[in-house]
Amino acid sequence: MLDLKISGGTVVDGTGAAGRRADVGVRGGRIVAVGDVGEGATRTIDATDLVVAPGFIDLHTHYDAQAFWDSTLSPSPLHGVTTVMAGNCGFTIAPLAGDDGPVRADDADYLMRMLARVEGMPLESLQQGVPWNWRTSAEYFDLLDGTLMPNAGFMVGHSAIRRVVMHDDASERHATPAEVEQMKGLLRKGLAAGGMGFTSTWSPSHNDHHGRPVPSRCASREELIALCAVVSEFPGTQLEFIPAVGQFSDDTFRLMGAMSAAANRPLNWNLLQVYAQNWELVQHQLAGFDLAAAEGGRVLALTLPDTFRLRLNFTSGFILDILDGWDALMALPVDEKLRQLRDPAGRAGWNRLAQGTQGAQRSIGNWAGYWVLQTFSDEWKPYEGRVIGDIARELGRESWDVLCDIVVADGLRTVIANQDRGQDDATWARRVEVWRDHRAVVGASDAGAHLDMIDSFAYSTTLLARAVRERGLLPLEEAVHYLTGAPAALYGLHERGRVSEGLCADLQVFDPATVGPGPVAMRFDLPGGAGRVYGEAVGVHHVIVNGVPCVEHGDLLPARPGRLLRSGTDTVTVAVR
């Protein structure tokens, strides 16, 4: 007797092969039959006219904290995701202590507040929803093992290990050789416990709650290479890195190539955004693959298959702090920010710094181009949903002054958004070209982070809706491969990402005629009453993790069958040489 049979569907197996009509039989958490399955089952799902596919694999999430207050890791499973990788960008919350003793309260507090600042997780939720009762990466993994709905792997983050070794100096200077050795020791322990790899950032967008660079940004090239070399000692591991913002230099690609070579593992960097209008930049970024290869590495661009829509606010100031001088300004207390925004001289000073920013980042200060997504004052509510430049012209004023007035009236809570210029046919066609490129891999949801800012958690259903169903730019089978088999192969997830006998039964059943992202809105369901951007899916009927139903017709079920994935146990080594 089977535990579960999915009958009558079209199996799209994750390899890119043509779909075929087949039943799928599941027993003991594994797929035991694919074809004409006559054996009875405790439960049968009728998949007539529907697609049966592997669960999607999301390589770039930040569910490290949310895992404690929301064991479903929502909304990812609603969009067909059955496996996530967390701990990216170097922003893990383990370890909390080094080899020299117990947890220091200031280090744990720093990591919590840094995470709130740089990844947009409400501080009150981190304080009330996370126990902060572990010392090591191993203890953190054990706390979550057996508690989650989807499978989850966790990386070991550079900023965390640097902070617990160097404390306040971590954001001030290069490490001494002795400190690098201590970091290597902590990384070894995290990887030995099953950490999926090593992550770090040098991105100028990553500043802590004091307005200073996060710890990993103060690391030398030599420190990065030394830590990557540790990764080579452990099977089934990976590298992830954010090296810069905008167009990368040749030296940046050479650095990533050296990191990959030292680890003998692929490195994926975040984030490649693709538009028809930036095709020259896209080609430059992909060409870095060859520069990295000359260093002995394999470096892939992690690309989001949608527009990276940003909802910005002056409370957190994330992204805005990329503007010259704004890292310190956005770290100011709320009252001081409001004082400076009310004062004409303060306003002028902020804007002067913004407009003095050079390069692609200067566009962040194009105030006229933002639209007012949400305002909280009666005075400005009628202007909600309008572009700031249009409002300013109507009022005969400057766009920056109008924005300041709205933000002050809202006590900094105003939500502004960049206009989505990435939904044209030419852009989607270019995105498909990148997905087909051996130098890129699909992902970059950032799910679990920037909770008040982004909706990229829906990237999988968006890809199917916009590129496959609406535009017919690629076959469904190819699209499913980019979301399942391809990321599984990169990370060595040898038992997941395909519908095949003997593999783990991570499956989903969706309607190809309707699958897509649902409406997006704020939901105030976080610890402390904080809110987040949230959106369900359309057309995803069933999601099954390790043979256990977890989602049915948009409802999250009570089951928590997810596996805490550990390197070398749940992964095989994907080597560069």
Residues 11, 93 within the same domain:
no
Residues 116, 234 within the same domain:
yes
Residues 237, 356 within the same domain:
no
> Residue 166 belongs to what H/E stretch?
helix 158-166
**3-class DSSP state for residue 328?**
helix
Contact between 282 and 430 under an 8 Å Cβ cutoff? The reply is: yes
Q: CA–CA separation, 185 vs 94, rounded Å?
A: 14
pLDDT in tens, 405-452: 999 999 998 989 988 889 999 999 999 999 999 999 999 999 999 998
Domain-embedded: residue 69? no
Residues 167, 217 within the same domain:
yes
Contacts for 256 with CB less than 8 Å, ≥ 6 apart: 241, 243, 267, 269, 288, 292, 297, 299
Residues 19, 123 within the same domain:
no
507 exposure class (CB count in 10 Å sphere: 0-12, 13-18, 19+): buried
Which of 242, 264, 284 is the last residue in one of the domains?
Answer: 242
Q: What range defines the domain where residue 224 resides?
A: 89-139+157-242
**3-class DSSP state for residue 38?**
coil
pLDDT in tens, 328-382: 888 899 999 999 999 999 999 999 999 999 987 888 999 999 999 889 999 999 9
Which of 393, 417, 441 is the last residue in one of the domains?
Answer: 417
Q: Which of 204-208, 326-330, 531-535 has the lowest mean pLDDT?
A: 326-330
94 exposure class (CB count in 10 Å sphere: 0-12, 13-18, 19+): buried
To the nearest 5 percent, what fractions of the chain are helix, strand and coil?
40, 20, 40
CA R_g for the chain: 23
Domain count, the chain: 3
Residues 31, 102 within the same domain:
no
Residues 232, 97 within the same domain:
yes
Residues 185, 124 within the same domain:
yes
120 Rama class: left (phi>0) / alpha (psi -120 to 50) / beta: left
Domain-embedded: residue 175? yes
Residues 130, 205 within the same domain:
yes
Contact between 359 and 378 under an 8 Å Cβ cutoff? The reply is: no
Domain-embedded: residue 161? yes
Domain-embedded: residue 437? no
Q: Please give the share of the chain, as a percent, with pLDDT higher than 90.
A: 90
Residues 220, 350 within the same domain:
no
Average pLDDT, the chain: 96
Which of 226, 242, 258 is the last residue in one of the domains?
Answer: 242
Domain-embedded: residue 493? no
Q: pLDDT at residue 31 above 80?
A: yes
Domain-embedded: residue 79? no
**Exposure of 196 in the CB half-sphere (CA atoms within 13 A):** 30
Give the mean pLDDT of 465-482: 98
Domain-embedded: residue 82? no
Residues 98, 238 within the same domain:
yes
Tell me which residue of 127, 151, 134 sits closest to 69, measured CA to CA. Answer: 127
pLDDT in tens, 131-168: 999 999 999 999 999 999 999 999 999 999 999 999 99
